[in-house]
């Protein structure tokens, strides 16, 4: 009964993740405020620098102050930042807000998965992590379907409105978090009394494990960095591809002309509405896979998933350099695969680390990902301004394919003999 109540509260909390309100128009909003692609990737890089510098300290603080308090601090910071983004109008303001935004997610990064895993461990159900985490993400994505549509509509009225709507719904999550109980597994682990030296030892021992080192490179470095670029450039690439299709269809009409009533013309409002629909479709697909992610794990297997998905995403991104219209499929698959892959990665990693310092270790892995994405961001920003965002993403896709093949030839990122272990098995 206690487990059911805890899982229900977790699902309710996931429903308040309101990122889809602003996601369809986020980068269009930044561009409308006068930021260039280079400035956008600079503030994104600042976000990731903050993640790099803040992940382990906030993970350590999360281990010390508890899972619930860490989630409260992070959610409050995110809510305040979203309000600030809606009111910001300068590069400097956006840069400072992105630092605060990163700190907010730093406090939630690792802590959420740690709370779920340890709450299930309390009732000897840690093997249910994939199912519970997947369904929680499915709920978040399903709620995001409506949020995407509303956000696209609100963006057509004013590009700042979706950020205010997201702040309102994110703030509701605070009322859910205060009702959460600390897992008994956490309280008995001694994490709240862990010193800095002990935390450092826990992290280094975890990330240096042979069964995790290649997985960290494969997922937290390559795949996460490239799919993050998909997130950044999805909107401008989507808009440019639609414009190309629009021009192509219009010029193919029998009597083309400026005043031709049959000529297609996508207005700014049309683009935002279409982006809202596109993101909603992505969320539906991602939610459907996430909801049955335990079936994916059992039927397809972690090894096939983690080998196949990065190569598929990278191949599609490379192809759109030669066939731009493929971008609509590449962006869809690339972003729809992120959350299911994250859930599977969470199960794989949590099964191979101990309760002591769990949030710190998970934050350290997120730090590795954030550090890696910075050169990807800066390089893609320069390529985007010099050529186009589509070409930048295609180059990133090539890096993903070549890097994945190199790691697979070096060492399998997924264990062959035993795909999972319990935290009682030791290292």
Give the Cα separation of 42 and 218 in Å (integer).
Answer: 25
Whether 410 and 214 have beta carbons less than 8 Å apart is answered as yes
- Write the burial class of residue 409 (CB in 10 Å: 0-12 exposed, 13-18 middle, 19+ buried): exposed
User: Residue 241 and residue 251: Cα distance in Å, rounded?
Assistant: 15
pTM of structure: 0.66
Distance, in Å, from the CA atom of 64 to the CA atom of 197, rounded to the nearest integer, reads 14
Residue 247 has what pLDDT? 45
b or e along 349-387 (b: 16 or more beta carbons within 10 Å of the residue's beta carbon)?
bbbbbbbbbbbbbbbbbbbbbbbbbbebbebbbebbbee
Closest of 402, 92, 35, 68 to residue 218, by C-alpha: 402
Contacts of 339 (CB under 8 A, 6+ apart): 137, 141, 286, 290
pLDDT tens, per residue, the chain with 427 residues: 556 788 888 888 888 876 678 877 888 898 888 888 788 888 888 887 887 787 777 777 777 777 788 889 999 999 999 999 999 988 999 999 999 998 898 888 777 877 887 888 877 777 788 788 888 888 887 887 788 788 878 888 888 999 999 999 899 989 988 888 877 776 665 554 555 555 556 566 666 666 677 888 888 888 988 998 888 888 888 888 877 765 444 444 444 444 444 344 455 456 767 877 888 888 888 888 888 888 888 888 888 898 899 999 999 999 999 998 899 999 999 989 998 898 888 878 777 766 655 666 776 777 777 677 778 877 887 888 888 889 999 999 999 999 999 988 888 787 754 444 433 433 3
Q: Which two tokens stand for residue 415?
A: 């264990």
Domains and CATH numbers, the chain: 2-180+195-425 (1.20.1250.20)
Name the residue with tokens 């409105």.
161
d(CA 331, CA 230): 7
């Amino acid at each position: 009964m206690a487990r059911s109540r805890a899982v229900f509260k977790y699902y309710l909390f996931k429903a308040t993740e309101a990122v889809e309100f602003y996601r369809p128009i986020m980068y269009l909003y930044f561009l409308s405020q006068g930021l260039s692609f280079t400035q956008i990737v600079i503030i994104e890089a600042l976000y990731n620098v903050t993640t790099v510098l803040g992940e382990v300290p906030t993970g350590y603080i999360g281990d010390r102050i508890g899972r619930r308090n860490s989630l409260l601090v992070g959610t409050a910071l995110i809510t305040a930042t979203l309000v600030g983004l809606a009111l910001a109008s300068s590069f400097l303001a956006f840069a400072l807000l992105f630092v605060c935004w990163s700190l907010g997610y730093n406090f939630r990064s690792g802590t959420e998965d740690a709370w779920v895993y340890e709450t299930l461990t309390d009732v000897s159900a840690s093997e249910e992590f994939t199912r519970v985490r997947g369904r929680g993400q499915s709920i978040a994505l399903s709620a995001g379907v409506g949020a995407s549509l509303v956000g696209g509509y609100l963006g057509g009225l004013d590009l700042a409105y979706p950020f205010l709507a997201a702040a309102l719904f994110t703030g509701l999550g605070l009322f859910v978090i205060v009702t959460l109980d600390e897992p008994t597994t956490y309280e008995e682990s001694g994490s709240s009394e862990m010193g800095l030296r002990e935390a450092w030892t826990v992290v280094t021992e975890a990330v240096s494990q042979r069964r995790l080192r290649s997985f960290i490179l494969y997922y937290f470095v390559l795949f996460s960095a490239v799919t993050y670029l998909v997130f950044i450039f999805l909107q401008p690439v989507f808009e440019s591809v639609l414009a190309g299709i629009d021009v192509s269809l219009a010029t193919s009409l029998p009597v083309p002309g400026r005043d031709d009533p049959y000529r297609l013309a996508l207005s700014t409002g049309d683009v935002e509405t279409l982006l809202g629909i596109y993101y909603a479709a992505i969320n539906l697909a991602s939610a459907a896979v996430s909801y049955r992610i335990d079936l994916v794990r059992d039927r397809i297997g972690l090894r096939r998933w983690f080998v196949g998905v990065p190569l598929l995403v990278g191949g599609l991104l490379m192809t759109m350099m030669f066939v731009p219209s493929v971008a609509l499929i590449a962006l869809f698959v690339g972003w729809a695969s992120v959350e299911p892959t994250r859930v599977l990665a969470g199960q794989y990693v949590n099964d191979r680390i101990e309760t002591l310092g769990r949030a710190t270790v998970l934050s350290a892995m997120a730090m590795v990902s954030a550090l890696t994405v910075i050169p990807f961001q800066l390089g893609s920003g320069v390529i985007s301004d010099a050529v186009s965002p589509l070409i930048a993403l295609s180059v990133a896709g090539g890096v993903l394919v070549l890097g994945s093949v190199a790691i697979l030839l070096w060492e399998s990122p997924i264990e062959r003999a035993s795909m999972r272990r319990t935290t009682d098995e030791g290292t």
